[in-house]
Chains A and B, each alone.
Chain A
Amino acid sequence: MSSILLAIPSKGRLEEATRQVFADLGMPIERPGGARSYLGEMADFPEVTVRFLSASEIARELIAGNIDVGVTGEDLVHEAAERGINQVELAKSLGFGGADVVVGLPESWVDVTAMRDLADVASDYRHRHGQWLRVATKYINLTRKYFAQHGIAEYRIVESMGATEAAPASGAAELIVDITSSGSTLKANQLKVPRDGVILKSEANLVVSRNADWPADRIAVLETFLDKIEKGLGEKITEAL
């Protein structure tokens, strides 16, 4: 019997919310070995093998084609590879894990209210200081793409893996690109978002890998599985693959 591999987030709110979604759909996911085990079961759908992984690993493995279907954030798919989003099919938004990838600037930059202001500032900064304006972020691909869209070339990215919001105060960068769900972290650090500074509205998604091996028998399993989640979804996605 052929099967497909489903990866879901292994901890925290994302895990809980994902398991809730599948439970509500009548396909509860068990984790027999407890929180330390990375194997799961979907008793009502034995053709689906469940694996627990970190959300960013899920994004990477979906792009590589090592897992077939996964639950992860759209932002993570963009960040795993520059053109990663083209390697997958976003099947369905799951209604949780909502967060925006935004540009964050010091509130004291009273002259900057839009990205076009930032284009001026980047240009001025280079002439005035002889240095590039620095942007701290872990979202390198999204930042480069968005800044290029706005014609901003005079900046450099400083890679930041944590506490990005502190970069302006610590002097590591002049501004940031980061993810925020409520905006409270930005506010606490006296950072603001220019009015067109939302780069991506991200949400947890059910994502199907284009690069996985999809012979007819596995396509059939995928189609049945997706149809259980939403009627008609199976055909729509398998046709797009």
Chain B
Amino acid sequence: MPFTASELQQKRQILEQNIKARGELTAPDILQKSDLFFDLAGEDIGRRLLLTTGADGTNYCLRPDFTLPIAAAYVQKHPQFDEKSYGYLGPVFRQRENGPAEFDQAGLEFLAAQDEEAAFQQCLDFAIETAALYGEEKPRLHLGAVDLFEALLDQIDLPDVWRPRVRDRFGHDAAMGRLLDRLFAPEGLQDQPDLPKDFEAAKAKILAMMEEAGLSPYSGRSADEIAERYLEKRQLADAPVPAATVRTLREFLSITGRAHEQVFHITALAQKVGINLDPQLERLSARLTQLKSDAPQIEVEFDAGFSPRLDYYTGHVFELTSNLTGDVLASGGQYDRLLQRLGAQKQVTAIGCAVWVDRLEQGGTR
């Protein structure tokens, strides 16, 4: 062990003070209803949960993170969306490759923050400061910008129906690559049943098939949406998405490297394609300038394709990685769609980060 027991205890005390300095220390129940997590993140997160069932059939899990329970409790308690800052320190539980695991996380959540740039910077400062507390003086910062990608996607020449599909694959390189391949060279229609090209006629055929199979016309996929997608596939086979669009997306997603240089690359790409990414680029530049003055020792890498694959992320996202082991030490970002997904009536600013305390405590020996 790189740290003695008393060193660890002392560091924990400092860590707790640092958390309290930024937010109200909160500890959601360890036992949570699992629907909260399934509803928000689907099976991908679901498979990581440690589950149990109550006598009445209700499904529970051990909390796999702090963000969701804190945000869900906030939506219940603060219908007026008061500005709140929370901090946490404690165990989370997840299924790992080698079995179930318990580990400690520390973090911050800024909900309904008035000054979102300041809140984000607080998260970065906290992550960097906590890493330094455990001897990680020069971690690398991996930065992404969901807002840049969404702005690009809004403006490029692409049938509307494809925009959400492309968005959903953001953060999953392999799935995105396959989708772009398909847009570039659409598949033929070889094993596609031959239906009329007219929407109403195609829909009538589909309705008849549904009825024969005893499928309700009112639940599940409707005949409308099946007919729409069927005809859309035919159209795509006849008239693929412009090659330039797919090239632009590929080029954008491959932009990665020292952060300041990437801003120039993206600016050039936007000019070439004729789209306006100025507000997002200005925001990114401001972030980089701030980082340079706050933490000049940190090497910042910008990766245009980097994002958690969760569709409630909306702004900048980051990961802090050890330059000793390459492990992720902290991660965070802006997720303004989260509270809405949890039942809020409107979009509410939400920014947070989580630090992997166990990894830091094990030091360079892990």
Contact = CB atoms under 8 A, between A and B. Distances in A.
Do the two shown chains form a genuine complex with each other? yes
Contacts of B268: none
Contact of B165 (A120, A171, A195): A120
Contacts of A168: 213, 215, 220
Identify which of A114, A123, A195 gathers the most chain B CB atoms within 10 Å of its CB: A123
Interface string A113-136: 110110111011111100010000
Interface stretch (A63-71, A101-109, A209-217): A101-109
A150 B169 CA distance: 11
Interface stretch (A29-37, A50-58, A153-161): A153-161
Contact of A120 (B38, B209, B212, B229): B229
Contacts of A171: 216, 219-220
Given A125-B221, A153-B309, A174-B220, A116 B43 contact: no
Contacts of B232: 111
B43 A157 contact: yes
B337 interface: no
A240 interface: no
B257 to A, nearest CB: 26
A147 to B, nearest CB: 7
A171 B192 CA distance: 25
Contacts of B43: 143-144, 147, 153, 155-157
A119 B38 CA distance: 18
Contacts of B172: 151, 153
Interface residues of B, number: 46
Given A123-B165, A168-B220, A110 B192 contact: yes
B192 to A, nearest CB: 6
Contacts of A110: 192-193, 195, 202, 205-206, 209, 226, 230
Interface stretch (B2-10, B137-145, B174-182): B174-182
Contacts, number: 110
A111 B231 CA distance: 8
Contacts of B210: 106, 108
B209 A190 contact: yes
A156 B46 contact: yes
B233 interface: yes
A217 to B, nearest CB: 31
Contacts of B221: 106, 109, 121, 125, 174
Identify which of B202, B214, B216 gathers the most chain A CB atoms within 10 Å of its CB: B214
Interface in A141-190: 143-144, 147-148, 150-151, 153-157, 168-169, 171, 174, 189-190
Given A110-B226, A120-B165, A195-B191, A144 B47 contact: yes
Identify which of A119, A120, A127, A171 gathers the most chain B CB atoms within 10 Å of its CB: A120
Nearest to B192: A113
A177 B195 CA distance: 27
Given A113-B191, A153-B309, A169-B213, A108 B168 contact: no
A151 B229 contact: no
B296 interface: no
B168 A154 contact: yes
Contact of A127 (B164, B202, B216, B230): B164
Interface in B93-114: 95, 97
A118 B357 CA distance: 39
Interface in A200-228: none
Contacts of B195: 110
A161 B172 CA distance: 32
B225 interface: yes
A123 B46 CA distance: 17
Contacts of A189: 213
Given A153-B44, A156-B43, A171-B216, A116 B230 contact: no
B192 A124 contact: no
Contacts of B309: 153
Nearest to B172: A151
B42 interface: yes
A151 to B, nearest CB: 3
Interface in B188-245: 191-193, 195, 202, 205-206, 209-210, 212-216, 219-221, 223, 225-226, 229-230, 232-233
Contacts of B44: 148, 153
6 contacts: A107-B209, A119-B179, A151-B169, A153-B172, A156-B46, A171-B216
Given A107-B213, A120-B229, 6 more contacts: A110-B209, A123-B165, A144-B47, A156-B46, A168-B220, A190-B214
